[in-house]
Amino acid sequence: MRAFQVTSHTQPPAIADAKEPVPQEGEVLLSIAACGLNFADLLMAKGTYQDTPNPPFTLGMEVCGTVIAQGQGVSSPTIGTRVAVFGGQGGLSERGVFPADLCTPVPDDMPAEAAAGFMVAYGTSHLALARRAKLQAGETLLVLGAAGGVGLTAVEVGKAMGARVIAVARGQKKLKAAQEAGADHLIDCDADDVKEAVKALGGADVVYDPVGGDLFKAALGACNREARIIVIGFASGDVPPIPANILLVKNISVIGFYWGGYLKFNPSALTDSLTELMTWYTEGRLRPHISHVLPLDQAAEALDLLRTRKSIGKVVVTP
């Protein structure tokens, strides 16, 4: 079978011939229909992600596929079931093995491309806002990088939870996508003073930050008292220092959030969240935005769309 593999952190990943995996105890073998890409895939290729496997390994953290074989002790999901699963690796391949207890059935009316790009982005926003920040209806949510893979979902989830959403993105095309996802107010970080624009709108009660760098600093300056800042990632490449004196004076909380970390200490939090989100999808409350869909032969180009920030929403590869 073909797989898009990392053989060395000093060489770019490439298509390789790989041996078909055999499901072990507690695992299922999937025929992979679609794989959603994430910024973490770029970090894994360079060896800088916190959970990077030793080479060689296949990139691709989240997939949608059909169960074609079961390992010992697996009774569910059954063969023929279409599922979504976050495996951390192995998704950019024609077939792959994944833990059965992490698989979530996919609604019949949900395209594979939507399901594959659903878990990390929506799961991150849902758990971060509901569990960690405890976002309340009527509060003001400031979303940085609001047109990215997770940013757009934070806008949607925040609106679904009853928040007033301020979206920050670069350029009118990306801001339009955020507006269509439900943002109440739009700020162009290339043209506007983000700190002053947010303050003019009454300040932020919760900040969702997958960007870091100067935008983190601007958001911190626009926080209301008792605001919560959720640190999602550092797409800017800049990990900002946090001035503790400002946190103290304004009673601000900075909250770290790593969605994949729950796999190790509380996987049921992920599966419960995903089950609720699938219900929201069937109810029409969520509309996944797929920016690009490319075949496995163009996996390198798909990753480059993330690297150069040319995508709006999710990039998906279909093995």
The verdict on residue 277 lying in a domain is: no
Statement to judge: residues 132 and 206 lie in one domain: yes
User: Are 228 and 208 spatial neighbours (Cβ–Cβ below 8 Å)?
Assistant: no
Confidence class for position 50, pLDDT limits 50, 70, 90: confident
The verdict on residue 279 lying in a domain is: no
- Domain CATH for 85: 3.90.180.10
Rounded Cα gap, residues 311 and 308, in angstroms:
8
Statement to judge: residues 76 and 45 lie in one domain: yes
The verdict on residue 295 lying in a domain is: yes
Statement to judge: residues 107 and 57 lie in one domain: yes
* Whole-number pLDDT of residue 112: 97
Sequence-distant (6+) residues with CB within 8 A of 293 are: 34, 113, 316, 317, 318
What are the pLDDT digits (tens) for 77-90?
Answer: 999 999 999 999 99
SS3 242: coil
The residue count for the chain = 319
Sequence-distant (6+) residues with CB within 8 A of 86 are: 61, 62, 102, 119, 120, 123, 260, 263, 270
Statement to judge: residues 158 and 179 lie in one domain: yes
Q: Which two tokens stand for residue 254?
A: 């900075």
Spacing of C-alpha 289 from chain mean position? 12
Rounded Cα gap, residues 66 and 80, in angstroms:
6
The verdict on residue 141 lying in a domain is: yes
Q: Is the pLDDT of residue 311 over 90?
A: no
Region for residue 96 given its phi and psi (left: phi exceeds 0; alpha: psi -120 to 50; beta: otherwise): beta
Statement to judge: residues 128 and 216 lie in one domain: yes
DSSP tally for the chain: helices H, then strands E: 11, 16
Q: Is the pLDDT of residue 264 over 90?
A: no
Q: Is the peptide bond before 77 cis (omega within 30 degrees of 0)?
A: yes
* Whole-number pLDDT of residue 202: 98
* Whole-number pLDDT of residue 294: 98
Confidence class for position 148, pLDDT limits 50, 70, 90: confident
Among residues 260, 278, 298, the one where a domain terminates is 260
- Domain CATH for 177: 3.40.50.720
Statement to judge: residues 80 and 204 lie in one domain: no
The verdict on residue 297 lying in a domain is: yes
Average pLDDT, integer, range 238-246: 95
What are the pLDDT digits (tens) for 62-78?
Answer: 999 999 999 999 999 99
The verdict on residue 98 lying in a domain is: yes
Average pLDDT, integer, range 285-290: 90
Average pLDDT, integer, range 290-314: 93
Q: Is the pLDDT of residue 231 over 90?
A: yes
Q: Is the pLDDT of residue 271 over 90?
A: no
Statement to judge: residues 11 and 111 lie in one domain: yes
* Whole-number pLDDT of residue 156: 96
Rounded Cα gap, residues 107 and 7, in angstroms:
36
Statement to judge: residues 74 and 178 lie in one domain: no
Q: Mean pLDDT lowest for which of 28-37, 124-133, 285-294?
A: 285-294
Statement to judge: residues 224 and 101 lie in one domain: no
Rounded Cα gap, residues 207 and 143, in angstroms:
6
Which residue range is the domain that position 90 belongs to? 2-118+288-318
Q: How many domains does the chain have?
A: 2
Statement to judge: residues 131 and 230 lie in one domain: yes
Share of the chain above pLDDT 90, in %: 87
Rounded Cα gap, residues 160 and 285, in angstroms:
7
Statement to judge: residues 161 and 255 lie in one domain: yes
Statement to judge: residues 186 and 60 lie in one domain: no
The verdict on residue 154 lying in a domain is: yes
pTM of the entire predicted model: 0.84
The verdict on residue 87 lying in a domain is: yes
Comparing C-alpha atoms, which of 227, 168, 164, 238 is closest to residue 196?
Answer: 168
What are the pLDDT digits (tens) for 93-139?
Answer: 999 999 999 998 999 999 999 999 898 899 999 999 999 999 999 99
**How high is the mean pLDDT of the chain?**
95
Among residues 244, 260, 276, the one where a domain terminates is 260
* Whole-number pLDDT of residue 309: 84
Segment (H or E) for 171: none
